[in-house]
Structure formats: structure tokens, C-alpha cells
Chains A and B, each alone.
Chain A
Amino acid sequence: MIKYVLEESGEDMRIDEHPILTFAKDKKIRFTFNGKEMFGYLGDTIAAALVDNGIMEFSKSVIHERPRGFYCAIGNCGSCNMTVNGVENVKTCLTLLEENMVVENELSEVIIND
């Protein structure tokens, strides 16, 4: 797993300063991604929290298994679909993070005949 950080400052991917919007970091929330413990903030979508934790690979393409990242962010493309608390195909870009959520993006059980 690659951790993406801003090269110069070494900071994570979260936007702290924005010309118009403000982002409150009220409450820190614990969740797991593929079994690994991570933290996000109340009000984050699952996808936003994952990006903040350096997760860029959200799913894999069907035939060639190429990595698919955070793409449309509005629930259309399916690129960010993951299994959340055991429920498949959850659109993580539209779903708010909750305390102790179990997030997984393993699709290995799908049989792919390539």
C-alpha cells in the first residue's frame, strides 16, 4: 500500500485551506480498511477518509485488473464501490463515515475469465 503525501511538506491529502469552503475537523472516527485501522473525521465520506489516509486504489478493472481510483465522486461510475460492514457495492463517495466501519475493497471472489 502506497502512502501518498505532499512531497515538500510531508502533509497528507486533506485540504485544510480553501478560498470558499471550510472543513471542520470535529470528531475523529476510527474505521478499518481491509483490516487496517484508520482514522477520519465526522462528516467525511468513506472515500474522502480513504484518500486522506493515502488510499488511491479503490477498485480494479474487470478484465485487466488495472487500478481504479476516486473518479466521479457523485455515485455514477462505480469506481469507488466497496464492501462496507459486509454489504457489497456501497458507493463510498456518497456514504458518510461512521465509527468502527469495516470497509473492504476485495473483489477476488468474482470469477474473471480473461
Chain B
Amino acid sequence: MTKASIVIIGAGISGVSTAYNLAKAGMKDIHVVDKGYFTNGSTGRCGAGVRQQWATKLNCILAKKSIEFFGRANGELKYHKDIEFKQEGYLILATTKEEDEQFTKNVKLQNSIGIPSEKLTVEEALKIVPHLNKNSFISATFCKTDGHVNPFLMTEAYYLAAKRLGVEFHFFEEVKEIVVGGNKIKKVITEKEEYLTDKVLNAAGGYAKEIGLMAGVEIPVFSENHEILVTERAKAMQGPMVMSFSKNIYCQQVPHGSFLMGRSNPDAVPSHDISSSWQFLDEMALTVKDILPEVAKLRVIRTWGGSYNVSPDRQPIISDTKELNGFYMACGFSGHGFMFAPITGELLTKIILKQELDEYAHDLHIDRFKENIITDYEHSVV
């Protein structure tokens, strides 16, 4: 039996970010449990992009604050390596008139909160990524401060900093039961240990719904397989992430030379499947050949899949719940948990320590779905 101030379920980026921020705020006896190895879940499977070009104000704010943190992460976390924060931008292609019009609105929204994005013509976009097929899009938006962070190194940076502040981590330890009594949490029972605690953070990524149900809390999220591939290394040829929602692709060259690219499967059904399919490779190849013919010449090294934990409005749930005291959640990131992790940890720390929250953060509460509050729906998702 171990006494814990809080048990954080999931040692992915959201879990380690919150553990670090809580410990920095002075909380002791923080225990993080994960059923697998370090970065086994969605964090270690993600596309490694970080962007601020969103269609909803809420996502723009979360992204902007997170990007600011990535810029100072090595120093603040006293990381002995480098998180590989590369700011060479995101170039988002518009391929239809509707998309072009939507992007004009998006840029206006982004600029209004200080995100330096801009609308570009085809010619201007070609100056940034010369090997783009000029016939494959009609306009673009570009934000030079978007970019790339290495998910493994970022998670390790948080993990090591949290450990130095006394946080205890338990890998290969699956949570089996959350014991609840009288609207309070009593215990978390894992396959190896019992933790006496009155607080639980659900940062279980693809398994957030199941962890919620363990505590009797319904969370309106589901998981969906998103596939991704990595190519052999090539000489540095593409600075920004190139992305298109209508063509269903994101594609970036990472610092060691490989390209990472992914797309969503319109026919995916909610499940914990994370397998790879030949259909993904087939469609991906056709799309890359269309937009970035030079990149299509590279060979694929491997493919894999990971879970998007999807919320009804494609915006995250960073929240406590009236149903159960001491139960907190960071889920429903809809594919963007990695890039929002810095602000996720900061907000949850304020929620858990009952500090005052900025106005915008109330919109991340789970009750927005219960009360049928009309929220913005995020369309800028691959």
C-alpha cells in the first residue's frame, strides 16, 4: 500500500507534463503509472509537428502558449540533450474555393491573438517549398513559428525534470480498479500495487474512456487508428510541415533527414486498433506524388499506427468533474495532445490546486457536452 497525493494514469506527454507542473508547484507524493514502456502510446506514435494554425480560438490559444514553452523547454527543464524544436513553419495548402475562404478567416482569427500566420499565393508558397506541385493547390497559409519537436526527447525532458522533483514513475503497471465511495476517490488498484489517494488524473490517451468508466465517469470520447510512415533519410530539402486538410495529408522532414507523413482513414471505426494497412501506403503514395513529387521518390522505412482520442468538437477536454471529486482528465485531444502538452500540464495544475483559471480555460470543461453548449468545431484536422 502506497500513499499518494495523486495518481496520474498514463506517462505519455500529458501525464509527464502535469506531473512536472504539479511537482514544481510543490505537490509531494505524485505517482505516475503506465501500463507499458516509456512513450508506448500515442505520444511515441505521433507526427511530431507543433502548430498554431487552427480554426477555433480555443485551439489557437492552447497552441500559442505551448509553442512559447517549447522555446524555453531545454532551459526550464534543465535537459541535458535537446528537444529538437525546429521552427521552420507549417505550410497549409488550400485546394478548394471553400478552403481558401475558410483560411482567410482562420488567419484573421490567428492574427487577432498574436499568431504570425499569413495567407500566401501559389508563387509565394513555392518560394518556401520549391518542390511543391504548383497545380495541386490554389493558395496557402504559412506560420513561421510552427514546426517540429521530437516527442521522445520532449517526454524524456519532462520525465527527468519531474523525477528530480520527486515524482515517482511506475512502468509496466496497469490500473485495474479505481475504488470510489461517497463521491470521492479512495484507492487506485494496479496489477502490482494499491495506492491510497483521493485524486486521479486520467491521462490515458487512447484508453481515456475506459479509465473514466472505471471511476464511473462517462467521457464522450472515442479512439481511432491513424496511420503514419517514415522514409529513409534525405538531404535537408523541406523546412516546413506541408499539410492539406482537403487532400488529407501532413508531411514533414525531421532534423535527422527522414520524412514523417500521415493521413486519416475516412472509414475508420472507433477502436483500439493501431495496425498498419496497405491501403494507407497506397493512398499516401498517391497523395505525396500529387503534392510533393520529389518526396515521393524516397523509400518507406516503416509504417505504424496510433490512437487519436477524439472528442465531439475535436477540442481537448482538460477538466475536473462534478460527478466525482478529485477526478481530473486530459483527453479528447483529437490528434494534438503532444503539441498542446505544455499548456495541458499548466492548466491541470491550476485546476487540481484550485487556483484561478484564465477565462478561456473554462471552455475546456467536460460539461460543455452535457449542457449542450454550442462550441466551435475544429475543422483543421488531418
Contact = CB atoms under 8 A, between A and B. Distances in A.
A89 B164 CA distance: 43
B255 A113 contact: yes
A110 B298 contact: no
Contacts of A111: 236, 255-257
B170 interface: no
Nearest to B82: A113
Contact of B256 (A89, A109, A110): A110
A110 B236 contact: yes
A11 interface: no
A5 interface: no
B379 interface: no
A39 to B, nearest CB: 28
B234 A112 contact: no
Interface string B256-299: 11000000000000000000000000000000000000000011
Contacts of B350: none
Interface centre among B82, B234, B235, B298 (most CB of A within 10 A): B235
Nearest to A63: B256
Interface residues of A, number: 12
A109 B235 CA distance: 6
Contacts of B298: 89
B1 to A, nearest CB: 43
Given A89-B298, A89-B299, A110 B257 contact: yes
B100 interface: no
Nearest to B299: A89
A88 B234 contact: yes
B216 to A, nearest CB: 46
Contacts of A112: 255-256
Interface centre among B233, B236, B298, B301 (most CB of A within 10 A): B233
A53 interface: no
Contact of A62 (B82, B233, B234, B236): B233
Contacts of B84: 113
Interface in A11-26: none
Interface residues of B, number: 13
B232 A81 contact: yes
A40 B158 CA distance: 53
Contacts of A62: 233, 256-257
Contact of A78 (B232, B235, B255): B232
A89 B234 CA distance: 7
A31 to B, nearest CB: 22
Given A110-B256, A110-B257, A112-B255, A89 B232 contact: yes
Interface in A82-114: 88-89, 107, 109-113
A107 B236 CA distance: 10
Nearest to A108: B235
Nearest to A110: B257
A34 to B, nearest CB: 16
Interface centre among A81, A111, A112 (most CB of B within 10 A): A111
A61 B62 CA distance: 37
Contacts of A89: 232-234, 298-299
A113 B234 CA distance: 15
Nearest to B81: A114
Nearest to B301: A78
Nearest to B85: A113
B235 A88 contact: yes
Interface string B226-244: 0000001111100000000
B311 to A, nearest CB: 34
Contacts of B256: 62-63, 110-113
5 contacts: A63-B256, A78-B232, A81-B232, A107-B233, A110-B256
Given A111-B236, A112-B255, A113-B255, 13 more contacts: A78-B232, A81-B232, A89-B234, A107-B233, A107-B235, A107-B257, A110-B234, A110-B235, A110-B236, A111-B256, A112-B256, A113-B82, A113-B84
A-B pairs with the 3 shortest C-beta distances?
A110-B257, A109-B235, A113-B255
